């Protein structure tokens, strides 16, 4: 490709709309442009890099028996009603419209329903299993807040794969294989990832892992143990809660605590530790109000809480909602509350004599003891693990980092096959539910992550496997000879099968060098009067400072890639 013809201008300064390096560099390098928030056009250089990424993924998917298909982006709402996800998601991430006949259509944000429908009508014998289908396709999700350039967008390319198995054991086996394949893919694409246990969320299923690239720009929190290999998304991470020796249960008693409405205040005022108090946090769901009771030293994990009560959405209760249930914010007590769902963390059941609100302003109760003084509708672990806490598995110390979720895998089990009646005939001739797994990778997000992990102050440093072009060729200096020899080398390299971006413009050396650094192709070749004196070309890797000068007839770019 001739630089003079390349569509997409580079910028000297990065646009003010971008804050994280990948966003700044992709904009500055003329690779992406925003249409509206969360929707980007990919210009030629980005498109080439994306193709490389896709082909790595295809290669790995095919290697474990995947077959590429393509399913519709626009789907009937009825399909989503079969699994109950329409009611759950419409008006949220799932966007849709009505066609001219008044039929409700949705823009698919994922394809579990579509693929299950496809397979239930195509696959009916155990002989056809296991089966893995995948596609590389646009998704639309009506994200409430797109951010960070390509990291969270509303419309994006995704590889989604779905596997079908005769039984759970085969799904387990395949899931482990896919886990390894994912590691291979990210390694080949030039980034380091770790897999973490994760929340299956609205996809559902029994087990899930996310593949995280550790990065400050990431939106997910990862809890990992320094002592063992435990790693989990903070949404689901477990920890060992500090034991509190609070003696034998003593009689409950009311104490005055004027103006002390936070755990911090109450603990200070009464001269006790936070772990000797009971914290009350209130959430509302569409059905009820949740009284979450947890020890004062621990915070509530909303994902765990959702799971404990079987809710898909919850939010902090408003003062108005609290008043309706007769609760006094700041002095709430789990004793004798009516009409609310009381969820008690196991830290509270394990610790007697806690200080809690008396449900009237200015008073707390001391020596609150679970089961003697109050009851729970649900007892569960609803605690939020944080860095510095103790690992539940080995007693080591947990650390907390941020990560970008570049991929995820789910064991769906029979969730979809059951809801959609997708069965196969077993060896015994009986219909059995299909066991399913699904596996996603966000392409644009992966592209951004690669840049996030591979850049310096001068620009992008593409890993050779995903670089838009392998070679950035240029001639510098005046005169017909450099230009002519540049042209010759350009033709020659392409004939040998190399992907070459040729800066054929009459620009000053500084301009060309700076841009080559910004665009970040792995290998830079420069022809100048100086190199031609010895019939040579200058060779420089983007990853290195040093340059080589090699004879033109001895040039073997492959050695540098």
Partner RNA sequence: CGGGGCGUAGCGCAGCCCGGUUAGCGCGUCUGCUUUGGGAGCAGAAGGUCGGAGGUUCGAAUCCUCUCGCCCCGACCA
| Strand segments (E) across 226-357 | 231-233, 239-240, 253-256, 278-284, 289-295, 315-316, 341-345, 354-357
Find out whether the peptide bond into 384 is cis, omega within 30 degrees of 0. no
Nearer to RNA, 117 or 210 (CB): 210
Which range of residues in 161-169, 351-359, 447-455, 525-533 is near RNA by CB under 7 A? 525-533
Nearer to RNA, 356 or 501 (CB): 501
* Footprint (CB under 7 A) of RNA, residues 346-375: none
Q: Where are the alpha helices (DSSP H) in 163-318?
A: 168-188, 263-270, 302-309
d(CA 89, CA 99): 19
* Footprint (CB under 7 A) of RNA, residues 84-113: 92-93, 109-110
Nearer to RNA, 415 or 540 (CB): 540
Nearer to RNA, 52 or 139 (CB): 139
Nearer to RNA, 506 or 558 (CB): 506
* Footprint (CB under 7 A) of RNA, residues 427-446: 440, 442
Of 507, 541, 543, 561, the one binding RNA (CB under 7 A) is: 507
Based on the shown chain and the rule CB under 7 A, indicate whether residue 378 belongs to the binding site for RNA: no
Based on the shown chain and the rule CB under 7 A, indicate whether residue 218 belongs to the binding site for RNA: no
Is the backbone of residue 436 left (phi > 0), alpha (psi -120 to 50) or beta? Answer: beta
d(CA 502, CA 490): 7
Q: Where are the alpha helices (DSSP H) in 293-432?
A: 302-309, 319-324, 346-349, 415-419
Of 314, 340, 433, 460, the one binding RNA (CB under 7 A) is: 314
Nearer to RNA, 219 or 556 (CB): 219
Q: How far is the CB of 551 from RNA (least distance, A)?
A: 14
Q: How far is the CB of 116 from RNA (least distance, A)?
A: 16
Based on the shown chain and the rule CB under 7 A, indicate whether residue 274 belongs to the binding site for RNA: no
CA 394 to chain centre: 27
Nearer to RNA, 161 or 466 (CB): 161
Tell which residue, 466, 453, 445, has the closest CA to residue 522.
Answer: 466
Of 5, 7, 36, 320, the one binding RNA (CB under 7 A) is: 36
Nearer to RNA, 95 or 272 (CB): 95
* Footprint (CB under 7 A) of RNA, residues 125-164: 139, 141, 143-148, 152, 156, 158
Based on the shown chain and the rule CB under 7 A, indicate whether residue 245 belongs to the binding site for RNA: no
Based on the shown chain and the rule CB under 7 A, indicate whether residue 540 belongs to the binding site for RNA: yes
| Strand segments (E) across 71-226 | 74-76, 96-98, 104-107, 131-140, 155-165, 194-197, 207-214, 220-225
Half-sphere exposure of 103 (CA within 13 A, CB side): 10
Tell which residue, 534, 505, 519, has the closest CA to residue 471.
Answer: 519
Which range of residues in 44-52, 366-374, 524-532, 551-559 is near RNA by CB under 7 A? 524-532
- Provide the 8-state DSSP code for 277: B
Based on the shown chain and the rule CB under 7 A, indicate whether residue 483 belongs to the binding site for RNA: no
- Could you tell me how many residues of this chain bind RNA (CB under 7 A)? 73
* Footprint (CB under 7 A) of RNA, residues 392-411: 405, 408, 410
- Per the structure block, which two tokens stand in for 428? 């015994």
Mark 406-429 as b/e (b = at least 16 C-beta within 10 Å): bbbbbbbbbbbbebbebbbeeeee
Nearer to RNA, 162 or 513 (CB): 513
Contact assessment for residue 520 and residue 461, using Cβ atoms and an 8 Å cutoff? yes
């Amino acid at each position: 490709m001739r630089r003079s013809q390349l569509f997409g201008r580079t910028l000297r300064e990065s646009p003010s709309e971008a804050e994280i390096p990948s966003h700044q560099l992709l904009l500055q390098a003329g690779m992406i442009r925003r249409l509206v928030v969360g929707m980007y056009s990919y210009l030629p250089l980005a498109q080439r890099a994306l193709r490389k990424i896709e082909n790595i993924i295809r290669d790995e998917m095919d290697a474990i028996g995947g077959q590429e298909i393509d399913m519709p982006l626009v789907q009937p709402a009825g399909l989503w009603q079969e699994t109950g996800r329409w009611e759950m998601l419409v008006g949220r991430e799932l966007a849709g419209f009505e066609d001219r006949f008044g039929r409700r259509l949705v823009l698919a944000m994922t394809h579990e329903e579509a693929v299950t429908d496809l397979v239930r009508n195509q696959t009916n014998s155990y002989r056809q299993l296991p089966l893995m289908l995948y596609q590389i396709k646009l998704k639309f999700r009506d994200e409430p807040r797109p951010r960070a350039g390509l990291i969270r967008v509303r419309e994006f390319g995704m590889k989604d794969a779905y596997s079908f198995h005769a039984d759970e054991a085969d799904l387990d086996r395949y899931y482990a294989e896919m886990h390894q394949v994912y590691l291979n893919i990210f390694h080949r694409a030039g980034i380091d990832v770790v897999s973490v246990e994760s929340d299956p969320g609205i996809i559902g299923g029994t087990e899930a892992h996310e593949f995280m690239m550790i990065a400050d720009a990431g939106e997910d929190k990862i809890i990992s143990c320094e002592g063992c290999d435990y790693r989990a998304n903070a949404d689901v991470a477990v920890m060992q809660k500090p034991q509190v020796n609070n003696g034998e249960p003593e009689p409950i008693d009311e104490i005055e605590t004027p103006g002390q409405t936070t755990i911090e205040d109450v603990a200070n005022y009464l001269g006790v530790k936070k772990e000797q108090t009971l914290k009350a946090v209130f959430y509302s769901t569409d059905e009820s109000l949740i009284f979450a009771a947890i020890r004062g030293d621990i915070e509530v994990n909303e994902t765990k809480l959702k799971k404990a009560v079987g809710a898909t959405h919850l939010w902090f209760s408003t003062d108005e909602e609290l008043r309706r249930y007769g609760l006094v914010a700041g002095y709430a007590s789990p004793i004798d509350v009516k009409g609310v769902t009381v969820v008690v963390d196991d830290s509270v059941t394990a610790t007697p004599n806690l200080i809690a609100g008396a449900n009237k302003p200015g008073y707390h109760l001391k020596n609150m003891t679970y089961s003697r003084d109050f009851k729970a509708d649900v007892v569960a672990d609803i605690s939020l693990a944080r860095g510095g806490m103790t690992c539940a598995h080995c007693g080591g110390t947990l650390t907390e980092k941020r990560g970008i979720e570049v991929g995820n895998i789910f064991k769906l089990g029979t969730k979809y096959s059951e809801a959609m009646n997708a069965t196969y005939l077993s060896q015994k001739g009986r219909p059995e539910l299909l066991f399913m797994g699904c596996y996603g990778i966000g392409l644009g997000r992966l592209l951004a992550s690669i840049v996030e992990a591979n850049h310096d102050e001068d620009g992008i440093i593409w890993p050779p496997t995903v670089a838009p072009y392998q070679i950035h060729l240029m001639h510098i200096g005046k005169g017909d000879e450099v230009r002519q020899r540049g042209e010759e080398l350009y033709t020659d390299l392409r004939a040998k099968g190399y992907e070459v971006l040729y800066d054929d413009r009459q620009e000053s050396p500084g301009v060309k060098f700076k841009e080559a650094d910004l665009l970040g192709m792995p290998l830079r070749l420069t022809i100048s009067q100086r190199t031609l004196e010895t019939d040579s070309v200058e060779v420089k890797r983007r990853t290195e400072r040093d340059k080589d000068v090699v004879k033109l007839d001895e040039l073997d770019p492959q050695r540098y890639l």
